[in-house]
Structure formats: C-alpha cells, structure tokens
C-alpha cells in the first residue's frame, strides 16, 4: 500500500488521528475540546470538517504549530504517508526549531546542585540560615 485513500472532507478529530498528530481519536477530541486546536484562528469542535487548504493550528509542547491541510484520509497509515496529509508553515517550523535549539543550549537543572540532594541535616541548616525553621518546645524555659 503506497497511498492512503483520500476523501474531500473529514472530521477534524479523525484528521488529527490519521495525520498521526494525536495517538487516538478520543485524545484528538480532548485536545480540540480543551482549546488546543484551532482552524483558521477560530476555536472549533471535534465534528468540524476540514478540507484541503485549511489552516489548522495545534498546540504541542508549549508551541503553536501551524499546519496546512494537503489531503484528508479516513485511515491511519504509516508515518511517512501520514506526514503527506499536511504541510507545516515556514514560520511555524522556524519557531519549532528555535525552541528546540534553546532547549538544547539551556543548562541542565540538575547541574545547579553541586552535592546532590540535601540530607535532612543539610535541609535544617539551610532552613536555619534562612530563618524558616524554629524548633518548638513545650518547656517553660523557652519563653
């Protein structure tokens, strides 16, 4: 099978599933219902039909991806064929690559801790130095 069957129009949740942008149709419907998918800049419902030429915006990994629908297929095929169902806009691709480069160049959060996780004794010393911890006692002498 070198080609997926093509239809003129298709439900948005089915298209997201067939284009392998969402793992299941129900997850696609949840993404749409939560407002993380827009068509032509407008929030939509899962039953909204898309056709070739529509602009679908999808929020993935904290970024908005802008995709132009090339074709609609009611079946989910292999990834190379599924990627032929859409084309990412150049601005969206550039923003995604820039974010990936920023993540690559960012410092590793674990490297900020030189000695690893503080022990209970270290944590108490840190809290004492910050003035956050005061030991409570029920003795009369502590007044």
Average pLDDT over residues 41-55: 93
pLDDT at 143 over 60: no
Which is nearest to 115 in space by CA: 107, 123, 127?
A: 123
User: Which position has the higher pLDDT, 77 or 134?
Assistant: 77
Give the pLDDT confidence score for residue 119 in this predicted structure: 85
Which is nearest to 69 in space by CA: 85, 57, 82, 90?
A: 85
Domains within the chain, CATH numbers bracketed? 9-94 (3.10.290.10)
pLDDT at 49 over 90: yes
> DSSP of 79-98, one letter per residue?
HHHHGGGEEE-HHHHHHHHH
User: In the chain, at which residue ranges do the beta strands (DSSP E only) sit?
Assistant: 9-11, 37-39, 42-43, 49-51, 55-60, 63-69, 86-88
How many other β-carbons are positioned within 10 Å of the β-carbon of residue 44? Answer: 18
Please tell me the pTM assigned to this model: 0.73
């Amino acid at each position: 099978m070198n080609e997926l069957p093509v239809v003129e129009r298709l439900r948005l949740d089915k298209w997201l599933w067939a284009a392998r942008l969402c793992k299941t149709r129900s997850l696609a419907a949840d993404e749409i219902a939560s407002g993380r998918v827009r068509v032509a800049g407008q929030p939509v419902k899962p039953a909204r039909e898309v056709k070739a030429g529509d602009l679908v915006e999808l929020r993935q990994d904290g970024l908005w991806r802008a995709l132009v629908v090339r074709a609609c297929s009611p079946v989910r095929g292999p990834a190379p064929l599924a990627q032929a169902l859409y084309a990412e806009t150049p601005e969206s691709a550039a923003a995604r690559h820039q974010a990936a480069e920023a993540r690559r160049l960012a410092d590793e959060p674990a490297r900020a801790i030189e000695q690893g996780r503080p022990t209970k004794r270290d944590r108490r010393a840190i809290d004492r130095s910050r003035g956050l911890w005061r030991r409570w006692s029920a003795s009369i002498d502590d007044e």
